[in-house]
Amino acid sequence: MLTLAAGEHLYGFEGTQAQTIFMAGFGGLVVVAALLLRVNLRFWLLAGVLMASALTAAVDETKTGYVQTWMVGIQLRRAEFHLAFGIVLSVLMLFQRGLSVSMFTFQGVMVLLMGMYAGLLQFVHKDNPMDAVQTVLFYLATVPCLLVIVPQLAKDSDGVFKLIRTIMWVSVLWTFCCSVQYVLDPRKLVNLQGRFWGMLANAQQAAVLCAPFAVCAIWLLLNDPKKRNKILWIALIAINLLFLAWTGSRTGALMFVVGVTFVLYARIGQAVLLLPAAALMLWGLFTLAVELKIYENLERLVSTENTRTAAWASMWNNALQSPLLGVGFDDAGGSENSYLLGFASYGIVYFLMTLALLLGSMFICWRVLLGRRFVGRVDRGIIDLFIGCNAMYFAGSFFEGYMLGRSNCSQVLLLFIAGILPYIDRQIAIGREERAHRVAEEFGDIEYDGSYGEDHQDAEPTAR
Q: What angle do CA 378, 379, 384 make, to 5 degrees?
A: 100
Query: Predicted confidence band at 337 (pLDDT cuts at 50, 70, 90)?
Result: very high
Residue ranges in 293-337 assigned as alpha helix (H):
295-300, 309-321
Kindly tell me if the per-residue pLDDT of 318 is higher than 50.
Answer: yes
Query: Predicted confidence band at 118 (pLDDT cuts at 50, 70, 90)?
Result: very high
179 vs 146 pLDDT, higher one: 146
- pLDDT, one tens digit per residue, over 120-139 is 998 888 877 888 888 899 99
Residue 164: inside a domain, yes or no? yes
Residue 24: inside a domain, yes or no? yes
Whole-angstrom distance, CA of residue 61 vs CA of residue 67: 8
Q: Specify which residues 458 forms β-bridges with.
A: 452
Point out the least confidently predicted range of 82-91, 93-102, 139-148, 200-209: 93-102
| Among 203, 291, 293, CA closest to 252 | 203
- List, in order, residues 6 or more apart from 136 with CB less than 8 Å away: 115, 116, 119, 120
Residue 80: inside a domain, yes or no? yes
Point out the least confidently predicted range of 13-22, 52-61, 235-244: 13-22
Point out the least confidently predicted range of 107-121, 205-219, 231-245, 350-364: 231-245
- pLDDT, one tens digit per residue, over 14-57 is 555 665 666 566 666 666 666 566 667 889 899 999 999 999 99
Residue 6: inside a domain, yes or no? no
Q: What angle do CA 266, 388, 225 make, to 5 degrees?
A: 60
**How far from each other are the two terminal CA atoms of the chain, in whole angstroms?**
86
Q: Look at the chain and report how many structural domains it folds into.
A: 1
DSSP string spanning 14-28? Answer: TTSHHHHHHHHHHHH
186 vs 365 pLDDT, higher one: 365
| Among 240, 176, 245, CA closest to 212 | 240
Q: What is the per-residue pLDDT for 99?
A: 64
Residue 459: inside a domain, yes or no? no
305 vs 16 pLDDT, higher one: 305
Point out the least confidently predicted range of 326-340, 368-382, 391-405, 445-459: 445-459
CB 205 within 8 A of CB 55: no
Query: Predicted confidence band at 347 (pLDDT cuts at 50, 70, 90)?
Result: very high
Whole-angstrom distance, CA of residue 218 vs CA of residue 235: 10
Kindly tell me if the per-residue pLDDT of 7 is higher than 70.
Answer: no
Reported in sequence order, the residue ranges of 198-340 that DSSP labels E, i.e. its strands, are: none
299 vs 9 pLDDT, higher one: 299
Q: 3-state DSSP helix/strand/coil percent for the chain, to nearest 5?
A: 70, 0, 25
**What are the CA-CA distances from residue 264 to residues 384, 410, 423, 425 (Å)?**
8, 22, 21, 22
Query: What's the chain's Rg over C-alpha atoms?
Result: 25
Whole-angstrom distance, CA of residue 315 vs CA of residue 343: 8
Whole-angstrom distance, CA of residue 73 vs CA of residue 328: 28
SS3 call for 4: coil
Whole-angstrom distance, CA of residue 176 vs CA of residue 33: 11
Whole-angstrom distance, CA of residue 310 vs CA of residue 330: 17
| Owning domain of residue 211 | 17-435
Query: Predicted confidence band at 101 (pLDDT cuts at 50, 70, 90)?
Result: low
78 vs 447 pLDDT, higher one: 78
303 vs 431 pLDDT, higher one: 431
**Distance of alpha carbon 315 from the chain centroid:** 25
Residue 137: inside a domain, yes or no? yes
Q: Once rounded to an integer, what is the mean pLDDT over residues 359-370? A: 96
- pLDDT, one tens digit per residue, over 149-186 is 999 999 999 999 999 999 998 998 898 888 888 888 88
The mean pLDDT value of the chain amounts to 83
Whole-angstrom distance, CA of residue 64 vs CA of residue 268: 50
Residue 452: inside a domain, yes or no? no
- List, in order, residues 6 or more apart from 435 with CB less than 8 Å away: 374
Q: What is the per-residue pLDDT for 11?
A: 57
Q: Once rounded to an integer, what is the mean pLDDT over residues 420-443? A: 88
Q: Once rounded to an integer, what is the mean pLDDT over residues 329-351? A: 92
Reported in sequence order, the residue ranges of 306-464 that DSSP labels E, i.e. its strands, are: 446-447, 462-463
| Among 421, 418, 424, 426, CA closest to 110 | 418
Q: Once rounded to an integer, what is the mean pLDDT over residues 330-346? A: 91
Kindly tell me if the per-residue pLDDT of 448 is higher than 50.
Answer: no
Residue 332: inside a domain, yes or no? yes
Q: What is the pTM of this model?
A: 0.86
Q: Once rounded to an integer, what is the mean pLDDT over residues 106-120? A: 93
Whole-angstrom distance, CA of residue 419 vs CA of residue 413: 10
Whole-angstrom distance, CA of residue 65 vs CA of residue 110: 35
**Distance of alpha carbon 147 from the chain centroid:** 16
